[in-house]
Every structure is written in C-alpha cells, then in structure tokens.
C-alpha cells in the first residue's frame, strides 16, 4: 500500500482533475442509491403497509425530514392519480435518476482518462530522464534486455493493472461507504453483520493478492532475461550463424521461455481465482444475510418485510463494487510488482546529484594531472594503481599495453564515468570532482572503437540538430566525409539505420569523427579508433584523425604501434601501473616493455 500511495503522488499536480472525478463519482453513487432507497417507501405506500401522508411536512436537512417529504410526495401522486398512475410516474422517475447517474458516471470517466494517461506519461518521462543520468556501472551490472522490459512491459503493466483500476479504487469505496450508510438507516444490526462478513472476505482475498504480487515480479524478471537473449541474438546473429551455434543459443532461449510459461501459468491461475472466489464468497454472504435478516423479519424484531426487501436490494448493489474492489486489489498487487522493478532505476544514485556548488570550466589552459590515482571495481581487482602523470595542453599522448592493462579505465576516470578509489585528478590545478560535470565534459571529444551512431539523420548524428550549417559542413571536410555524404543526397535527412546499419564501417567512423570536429572540444580521446577497419578505410580515417587533432591535446589508446610513433609521449601500462613513458625513440632505446611490444608487432 505504501508503494501504491508513492505511485499516486504523481497525480498531485492534477488535484483539480481528482477533485472533479470524486465529485462526479459521489453524484454517480448518490443517484444510484436514491433509485434504490426510494423503492422501500414506494412499496410500503403502494401495498398499504403505511398510511398516506396528506399534510406537507416542514422540510429540514436531516434524514427523517427527507424521508417524510418523499412519503408526502408519493402519497399526493397516489391520492390524485391512483396507484397505477403513481406506479408509472415512479418508473419514469427511476429512468430519469438512472439517466443522471450514467451522465455523471461518464463525466467521471471523461475526467479520469487524461489523468491516468498523464501519470504514465510522467512516469515514463521520469524513468527515461533518470536513465540518461545513471553511472556506467549501472549499465554494466544490469542486463540491457531487463532494462528494456522495465520501459515496455512493466510500464504497460502499471498502465493496465493500476491505472485501469484507478476508477474502481476510488469509486468502489465510495459506493461501499454510501451503501453501508443507507443500509444503516434501515437496520444497523444487519449492517454491522454485513460489514463484518465483507471484512473477513477482504482479508482472505488480500492474502491471495499478496501471493500474486510475488509471482508477477518473478514473471517480469524472467521476461527481462528472455528479452536480453533476443537482443543478444539479433546483435550477434553473424557469429551465431557463422559458427552454427543456433542450437546452443536456442537452448538458452528455450530454458527461459519455458520458465516464463511456468511462472505465467501460476500467476494467471491465481489472478483468475479472483472473480469466481469473490462471487462464491459473495453468495455465501448473501445467503447468511438472508437467513439472519429473514429471522429478524419473522421474529418481528423491528424489521418489516418491505424494509428487508429494500435492504437486500441495496445490499445486492453493494456486491458489484465489493467484487470490483477485490479484483482491483489483485490487479494493483500485480502492477505494484512492476512498479517495484521500475524503482530499481528511479532509486539509483545519479552522477548529476550534489552538483549545486560546482564550478564551471569553459577552457583548458595548462594540464590534466593524475596524482597517486588508484581505482578498483567493487568486489573486483585493482584496475589502476598509484598512477601519476601530467597530460600537457597541446601535446599528443598514447596509452599502450595489453588488453585489461587499465587503458580504458584511465579514459573512464578522465571523463568522470567513474571516480578514483584513491588519489586525485586535476585539470588546471582544479579537482575535477568540483567542476560542473556538463561544462567539464564539453572540454572532451571521444572517438570510440565502435562508432556510436543513432537511427536519425546524418545532421542529427553530427550536431544533434537538424540544421546543416557552416560548422556542419566544416566538420564533414575535417572528417573526409564530404564525398559519401553528398552521394547520399536527400538521404542525409533520413535515418541512417540502427547503429548506422546503412553505412560502411569507415563511413560510420568518419561520422563519429565529424561529430567531434563539429563540437570542437579542447581535448580529444581516441579509443582504438581505427582497429576495426580495413587498410583502405584505416588510411582515410587516420587522415581525418590527423586533421581533427591539429592544435589539440590528444590522448590515444592504440594497439597498432605503427600509428603512434610521432606522438609526444607514449605511456606503457601494465597491470594498472605506469611502467614506462617517453617518445618512441626513447622507449626503443630503453629496450624495455615497449621495445618488446614493437618487436612482437615487427614494426
């Protein structure tokens, strides 16, 4: 219930809608109740169970006065027009009341529609904005398929299971309260008896609903794993087909698919138990009330037959909202399991928190310094240990070393994707953790090994806007991308495919370089930018990189040592430690680790 109320806090900005929904709901219940309550006095007058009232009573806003006024109104109709005409008038009155009841019910639903859709809109928006701010470690420890499931299936579950029951969760309690109030006016003993029976029924159903919530959460977890397998299959289909391991990946899929089948079977069986169980319990309660109330009528203990009939009519109308409410409890429990999964994203720490007192930095003037920097992943090995170095403005540096030596970790530390476990990183003598993260990252441009492109136009991939201005054209020239982009003609305004699937590897990388040229950062980070390309594309991309790095501070991760011989300094990293640094000639002369790496590559 606490999480349900937390979810409903998203509705607070729309209090006006909630107010009118409650007003229309109350009017719906009142008109429904009036049509039933007026049945008792009409039956008593029609069948001469009570005397006709010929003198108009003084009207006051209390129960007795309202009932007496209604008795007088019906008595006048019977006296002046006869019982048959009065019966016809009564039927017309009931039709009018039910018409008004349904008008107000529609107005309540009319108000509710944008309200519940707005909640899902706001929740999806909040979830996506949060996702954009999460640390890289979050994405490393969570399966992509599970995250996609939270954005799709879980949000849909909330929409159907919780939002579709919002009407029931508000209107049904109003129905129950007002109906019980009307029943109290007829017989408080019988009403207390009914209330006790409903309470027992609600507790029993709630216990089953709690079990359903657990099954629903398990179902979403398993579905997340299955979505991850599908995503990995699509992404790695070339390897799967090249090595003919379809059977291996299918067995993985089959296992999770069967788990989903079994979990959903349990969940649906418990959910589908709601309606028949509620109906059975309702019939049991009705029969007990019939027996208990019938004995009161037969023993003459203050309950007349007509009042008992009226009580049972009102009570029969209490069953549908009670049944709907119990079904809503099942759906809410199921939906809350999805909301709890979504909260694992919403409650995650954000890199953009606690930045209120940070300083802005628009220029890089001197050096980027590592001072005794160490980093180790939680429950993992040490990635960087006691790293000391100063990257000076305007110079080119290369990081070399075996895979896993710590080169990419240094990039992540520079970009503040992760923070040092020990030591400090300074830029122009300012600790980077006190600098506004947005202005700090604007100092950098990164070209990754795999070009990261989005399924939008060329212009949007380069400039993150649709305008092809002079800076855009200049960026294409720097990246040697003018020729192939011009050949695309109008296609530059179209989406380039998922992950740039309409482009070749070299074209993708040149667009990646064009993006950096357009942003014109102070420092350029190259993460093995040409290692995945063939010789022709590598030459073209390398020429583009040379233009890009002119008069820039550059730090390069490279495996092909032939590409970095002209940099100002080469840093040799081994097991997270800086073992050697210097120019290509200096390191060859030392005849150490770098010299051995050069011999192995036969430069």
Distance from C-alpha of 419 to C-alpha of 375, rounded to nearest angstrom: 8
Give the start-to-end residue ranges of the domains of the chain. 2-346, 367-601
Q: Which helix (H) or strand (E) holds 488?
A: helix 482-488
555 with 415: CB under 8 angstroms? no
Distance in angstroms (rounded) separating the CA atoms of residues 459 and 475: 11
**Which residue has tokens 């969570």?**
142
Q: What is the pLDDT of residue 112?
A: 80
Structurally, at CATH architecture level, domain 367-601 sits in 3-Layer(aba) Sandwich (3.40)
CA distance 501 to 494: 13
Report the pLDDT value the prediction gives residue 343, as an integer from 0 to 100: 84
129/395: higher pLDDT: 395
DSSP tag of 134: B
- With a cut of 90, say whether residue 425 has pLDDT above it: yes
Q: Per mean pLDDT, which range of 152-156, 239-243, 495-499 is the poorest?
A: 239-243
Q: CB neighbours (10 Å) of residue 364?
A: 20
Tell me, what's the pLDDT at 66?
Answer: 64
- The share of the chain scoring above pLDDT 90, in percent, equals 8
Q: pLDDT class for 504, splitting at 50, 70, 90?
A: confident
Assign 362 a pLDDT band (cuts: 50, 70, 90). Answer: confident
**CA 190 to each of CA 181, 182, 296: distance values in angstroms, whole numbers, following the listed order:** 12, 12, 9
Query: What's the pLDDT score for residue 182?
Result: 75
Q: Which residue has the tokens 């994203």?
A: 345
Highest mean pLDDT among 285-289, 312-316, 348-352, 588-592: 588-592
Q: Name the pLDDT band for 465 (thresholds 50, 70, 90).
A: confident
How far is 329 from 205, CA to CA, in rounded Å?
A: 8
- The torsion angle over the Cα atoms of residues 454, 456, 459 and 463, rounded to 10 degrees, is -50
What is the model's pLDDT at position 424?
A: 93
Q: What order do you get walking across the sheet with 577-582 strand by strand?
A: 444-447, 523-527, 553-557, 396-400, 569-574, 577-582
Nearest by Cα to 526 from 536, 516, 538: 516
pLDDT at 326: 67
The answer to whether domain 2-346 has CATH 3.30.70.270 is no
* 255-259, 322-326, 353-357, 431-435: range with lowest mean pLDDT: 353-357
Least confident of 134-138, 450-454, 533-537: 533-537
pLDDT, tens digit, 9 for 90 and up, residues 297-318: 787 766 777 677 777 777 777 7
- Number of Cβ within a 10 Å radius of residue 566: 10
Q: What are phi and psi of 577, to 5 degrees?
A: -120, 145
Under 8 Å between Cβ of 256 and 215: no
Radius of gyration for the chain, computed over Cα atoms and rounded to the nearest angstrom: 37
Q: How far apart are CA 561 and CA 228, in angstroms?
A: 37
pLDDT at position 55: 73
What is the pLDDT of the chain when averaged over all its residues? 78
| Pairwise CA distance, residues 334 & 322, whole Å | 19
Q: Average the pLDDT over 77-92 and give the result.
A: 74
pLDDT greater than 60 at residue 63: no
Per the CB < 8 A criterion, the answer to whether 268 and 147 are in contact is no
Would you say residue 513 has pLDDT above 70? yes
**Hunting for tokens 């391991």 — which residue is that?**
245
Residue 293 is predicted with a pLDDT of 79
> Does the pLDDT value for residue 432 go beyond 80?
yes
As a whole number, mean pLDDT of residues 109-133 equals: 82
**For 17-37, how does the pLDDT look when each residue is reduced to its tens digit (9 = 90+)?**
888 888 888 888 888 777 666
- pLDDT-derived band at 391 (thresholds 50, 70, 90) equals very high
The string over 403-418, giving b where at least 16 C-beta atoms fall within 10 Å of a residue's C-beta and e elsewhere, is eebbbbbbbbbbbbeb
- The distance of Cα 76 from the centroid of its chain, to the nearest Å, equals 62
**What pTM, to 2 d.p., does this model score?**
0.69
Least confident span in 62-71, 189-198, 466-475, 487-496: 62-71
Q: What is the pLDDT of residue 459?
A: 83
Mean pLDDT of 226-231: 77
Confidence band, pLDDT 50/70/90 cuts, at residue 352: low
pLDDT at position 223: 75
- pLDDT value of residue 115: 78
């Amino acid at each position: 219930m606490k999480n349900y109320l937390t979810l409903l806090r998203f509705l607070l900005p729309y209090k006006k809608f909630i107010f009118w929904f409650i007003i229309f709901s109350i009017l719906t219940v009142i008109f429904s109740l009036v049509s039933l309550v007026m049945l008792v006095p009409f039956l008593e007058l029609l069948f001469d169970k009570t005397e006709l009232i010929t003198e108009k009573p003084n009207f006051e806003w209390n129960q007795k006065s309202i009932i007496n006024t209604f008795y007088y109104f019906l008595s006048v109709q019977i006296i002046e027009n006869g019982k048959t005409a009065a019966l016809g008038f009564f039927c017309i009155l009931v039709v009018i009341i039910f018409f008004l009841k349904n008008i107000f019910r529609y107005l309540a639903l009319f108000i509710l529609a944008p309200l519940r859709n707005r909640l899902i809109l706001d929740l999806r928006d909040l979830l996506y904005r949060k996702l954009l701010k999460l640390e890289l470690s979050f994405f490393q420890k969570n399966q992509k398929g599970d995250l996609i499931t939270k954005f799709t299936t879980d949000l849909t579950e909330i929409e159907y299971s919780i939002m579709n029951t919002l009407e029931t969760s508000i209107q049904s309690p109003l129905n129950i309260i007002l109906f019980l109030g009307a029943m109290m006016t007829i017989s408080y003993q019988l009403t207390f008896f009914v209330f006790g029976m409903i309470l027992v029924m609600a507790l029993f159903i709630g216990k089953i609903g709690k079990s359903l919530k657990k099954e629903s959460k398990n179902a979403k977890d398993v579905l997340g794993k299955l979505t991850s397998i599908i995503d990995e299959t699509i992404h790695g289909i070339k390897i799967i087909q090249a090595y003919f391991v379809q059977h291996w990946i299918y067995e993985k899929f089959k296992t999770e698919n069967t788990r989903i089948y079994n979990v959903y079977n349990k969940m649906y069986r418990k959910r589908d138990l709601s309606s028949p169980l509620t109906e059975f319990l309702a019939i049991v309660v009705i029969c007990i009330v019939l027996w208990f109330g019938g004995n009161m009528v037969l023993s003459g203990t203050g309950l007349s037959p007509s009042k008992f009939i009226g009580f049972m009519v009102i009570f029969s109308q209490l069953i549908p909202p009670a049944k709907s409410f119990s079904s809503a409890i099942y759906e809410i429990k199921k939906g809350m399991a999805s909301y709890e999964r979504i909260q694992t994203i919403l409650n995650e720490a954000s890199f953009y928190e606690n930045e209120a007192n940070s300083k802005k930095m628009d220029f890089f003037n001197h050096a980027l310094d590592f001072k005794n920097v160490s980093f180790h992943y939680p429950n993992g090995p040490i990635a960087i240990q006691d790293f000391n170095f100063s990257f000076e403005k305007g110079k080119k540096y290369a990081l070399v070393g075996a895979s896993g030596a710590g080169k990419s970790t240094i990039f992540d530390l520079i970009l503040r994707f992760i923070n040092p476990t020990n030591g400090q990183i300074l830029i122009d003598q300012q600790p980077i953790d006190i600098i506004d993260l947005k202005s700090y990252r604007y100092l950098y441009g990164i070209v990754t090994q795999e070009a990261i492109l989005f399924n939008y136009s060329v212009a949007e991939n380069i400039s993150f806007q649709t305008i092809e201005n002079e800076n855009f054209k200049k960026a294409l020239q720097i990246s040697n991308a003018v020729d192939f982009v011009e050949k695309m003609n109008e296609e530059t305004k179209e989406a380039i495919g998922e992950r740039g699937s309409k482009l070749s590897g070299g074209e993708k990388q040149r667009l990646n370089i064009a993006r950096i040229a357009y942003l014109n950062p102070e420092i350029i980070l190259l993460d093995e930018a040409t290692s995945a390309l063939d010789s022709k594309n590598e030459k073209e991309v390398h020429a583009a990189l040379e233009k890009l790095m002119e008069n820039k501070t550059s730090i390069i991760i490279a495996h092909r040592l032939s590409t970095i011989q002209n940099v100002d300094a080469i840093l040799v990293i081994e097991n997270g430690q800086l073992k050697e640094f210097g120019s290509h000639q200096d390191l060859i002369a030392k005849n150490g680790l770098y010299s051995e790496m050069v011999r192995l590559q036969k430069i």
